[in-house]
Structure 1
Amino acid sequence: MEVDYLFQIGDNIVYPMHGAGIIKAIEEKEISGKKQQYYVIKMSIGNMQVMIPTGKILSSNIRPVTDIIALKNIIHIFQHGESDSLLSWKQRYKVNTDKIKTGKLQECAEVVRDLMQMKKEKTLNTSEKKMLDNAHEFLISELGFIKGITENQIKSFC
């Protein structure tokens, strides 16, 4: 019996809050007495491997890596977008966390853009420094997987 999977071995994907990776295998495992099919994903950040049940892939917000056409729009937003600096740091932290959790490149780029702009104006608190570092790492991890991207385009996000 052949099963139709949403992703195939070798696909480049983005896992929200973890960054980009590649599907290395689809394996059947028995965990707690229950057999399931799992995607085995090698993440580019931290040399980590994760396993996600194939039935939960949609609810995990895993998506394919963005293509070069969509990236051009994201670069424009990154370079020319405006941030809402009127929020308190707690409100801003929640908004930014929610954006990163979506796993969307555009949302992550907005977080990096906004926090980098704030960093130029004042010192970020420890939580926002860590968030900026993580969001930047997620962003760069995906950019490295996009076919056709240039080194200069990647550097525009630094």
Structure 2
Amino acid sequence: MTTAKKATLAFKTGETVVYPAHGLGLITAVEQQEVAGFRLQVFVIFFEKDRMTVRVPIAKVASVGMRKIAEPALVEKALVVLTSRARVKRGMWSRRGQEYEAKIKSGDLISVAEVVRDLYRSPEQAEASYSERTLYESALETLLCEFSAVYGITHTEALTLIEQNLAKAPHPVKGTGPEADTNAEDEAAA
């Protein structure tokens, strides 16, 4: 069976899917289109949040990370990730930022939860940089959408659930958040 046929069978019209670049969308149709002389079968996906429609070639479904909404058991695992200690690697922010961005774009719910956990700042911590806040907000929005869809709750209720779990995680009280952990490790190693 070809990849396109498997993808067509995996997703159907009327189904809500996760498309990492845009969030949750509804498959409204499966169409044939001609692009540069080639006939392609595409999923037509509508994203309510952005009031936008995207056409995804069926053959590209796997490479763009499109997937079905997570099962409740996977969402529960993501909640457990949020309660664990933040893991911040040593090194330059630009490299870590790229790693966080790749995790968000992967669409993997556990990876996105790790980004939220690692970039979360408790009220006692110093404010995050602009790029940290941007990545955090992007990952948080992804979790909010999926949690609210899986549990049938509002975004506000999903945010409360996420924040309650983040509050359970051990966080540094002094310093500037993730960098403080890294600096403490650097000083201990010296």
Cα displacement string for residues 39-96 of structure 1 (whole angstroms, at most 9, x for unaligned residues): 0111243122111011111211111110111111110111224321644322220220
Contact 1:25–1:41 (CA<8 Å) still a contact in 2? yes
| Aligned match of 1:155 | 160
- The separation in 2 between residues aligned to 1:96 and 1:30, in whole angstroms, is 36
| Aligned match of 1:53 | 57
Higher helix share: 2
| Aligned match of 1:28 | 32
Q: 1:81 to 1:55 in 2, by over 3 A?
A: same
Counting matched residue pairs gives 155
Q: 1:20 to 1:82 in 2, by over 3 A?
A: same
Contact 1:99–1:111 (CA<8 Å) still a contact in 2? yes
Give the match's secondary structure for 1:99. helix
- The separation in 2 between residues aligned to 1:59 and 1:119, in whole angstroms, is 38
Give the match's secondary structure for 2:120. helix
Give the match's secondary structure for 2:64. coil
- Selected match of 2:43 from 23, 39, 46: 39
Cα displacement string for residues 89-117 of structure 1 (whole angstroms, at most 9, x for unaligned residues): 22220220121121111111111121113
* Bigger Cα displacement from structure 2, 44-53 vs 80-89: 80-89
Hey, which bits of structure 1, 4+ residues long, moved more than 4 A?
149-154
- Selected match of 1:115 from 115, 119, 122: 119
Cα displacement string for residues 12-39 of structure 1 (whole angstroms, at most 9, x for unaligned residues): 2111132111211111112223221110
- Measured on the aligned residues, the alpha-carbon RMSD in Å equals 2.2
- Larger relative contact order (Cα-Cα within 8 Å, sequence gap ≥ 6): 1
- The separation in 1 between residues aligned to 2:21 and 2:125, in whole angstroms, is 27
The normalised TM-score by structure 1 is 0.85
- Percentage of identical aligned residues: 27
The normalised TM-score by structure 2 is 0.72
